[in-house]
A = this chain, B = another copy of it.
Amino acid sequence: MANSLTGLRETNRRLITETVRKSGALTQAQLARQTGLSPATVSTIVRELRDAGLVEISQAGGRRHLISPARETGLVVGVDFGHSHLRVALAERSHKVLAEEAIPFDVGARAPEGLAAAERLIIGLLGRAGVSRAEIRAVGLGLPGPIDPQTGIMGSSTILPGWAGVDPAAELGRRLGVPVVVDNDANLGALAEATWGAAKGRREVAYMKIGTGVGASILINGLLYRGATGTAGELGHITIDENGRLCRCGNRGCLETLAGGQQLIDLVRPTHGQVTVSRLVELAHAGDIGCRRVIADAGRHLGVAVASLCNILNPGLVVIGGALAEAGPLLIDPIMTVVGRLAIPSAARAVSVVKGELGERAGVLGALARVQSPNVESAL
């Protein structure tokens, strides 16, 4: 199919629809440059797509036509469980987010409670946006732990004990009556940054989410890399100090025990009392020496992990997300320093480390991206 002449046309149609979907709105000339097709081809294909109702065309100054994805009917929902929050977004199939809400939530709670809370939030958003439950087409669900891609069940029973053995996608799907796809929150964050954020257009990327815990995800050749059994990217549990603190994964001295938000909170509690990660970052920005110090220390530990990552994978870009990323250079400079010292020089030169652009919305946006794109059914 892919090698026939009409198959070629089909391929190019898809190429254009995909490009339009990713960029939101483009002129035909931009489209031609990005896809490598000739303006003539773009012209005819765009007309076909308009006739088929897959894209919309609006005049935009001069002879320019602005091509945008057709206002697709139906809605999608993104759900993102963090260690201490739950965030839900309701969006059109095109990229417009209609409503979004986040609440504090302890993921240590058992799965049924979490899913019930998610369902309540979704229903709330539906009301606020004035749309009906029946319009939901798909739900993307992010969880802060390794997911077995075969079964959809948490890979490790020690990391999220309240969720062991349950199939969250099936469970939430049963509650809502729509298909649910589940994935690791770091994978979703990476997907979001690659689609709309700091990693847009980049192909060899690592994403690290540093919130309460530490998660990571890898993009190889622009695609999520899951490894042989789907748990690739668990950078949060590589061992930095064999004699370090016990980790909830059961090992000792994982990166997470040294650079996870929880550890930072514990470290400043004697001097600053109980704070959140965000508060700690605020204090650091305001000049608090202690907070700056624990963040810099975390950065150095992260640097060790990133250096290993660079030696192993040689990425071109490392995006830092999660609440701690808001510390910006306070966190990233130490990372770069350590990477420069520990990674082999050519790998260190190749990599840039940047803050994610989507902040705390990365996870939920990734959940949306996860269920928005696979719209490849042949409409023509």
State the A residues within 8 Å of B (CB).
1, 3, 5, 8, 11-12, 15, 35-37, 146, 148, 155-156, 158, 203-204, 216, 218, 220-221, 225-235, 237-239, 242, 249-251, 304, 307-309, 311-317, 341-342, 344-347, 349-351, 378, 380
Contact = CB atoms under 8 A, between A and B. Distances in A.
A344 B237 CA distance: 7
Nearest to A157: B345
A157 to B, nearest CB: 8
Contacts of A309: 312
Nearest to A221: B378
Given A3-B8, A3-B15, A36-B1, A346 B231 contact: yes
A312 to B, nearest CB: 6
Given A228-B350, A341-B251, A235 B156 contact: no
Nearest to A227: B314
Contact of A239 (B146, B216, B250, B307): B307
A232 B347 CA distance: 8
B314 A346 contact: no
Contacts of A238: 307-308, 311-312, 342
A346 to B, nearest CB: 4
B346 A316 contact: no
A342 B316 CA distance: 27
Given A308-B308, A311-B235, A311-B238, A229 B3 contact: no
Contact of A232 (B237, B250, B313, B345): B313
A5 B225 CA distance: 31
B3 A230 contact: no
A8 B11 CA distance: 11
23 contacts: A3-B12, A3-B35, A3-B37, A155-B344, A156-B345, A216-B312, A218-B312, A226-B314, A228-B317, A228-B350, A228-B351, A229-B316, A229-B347, A230-B346, A232-B314, A233-B312, A234-B314, A237-B344, A238-B311, A249-B344, A250-B345, A251-B341, A308-B308
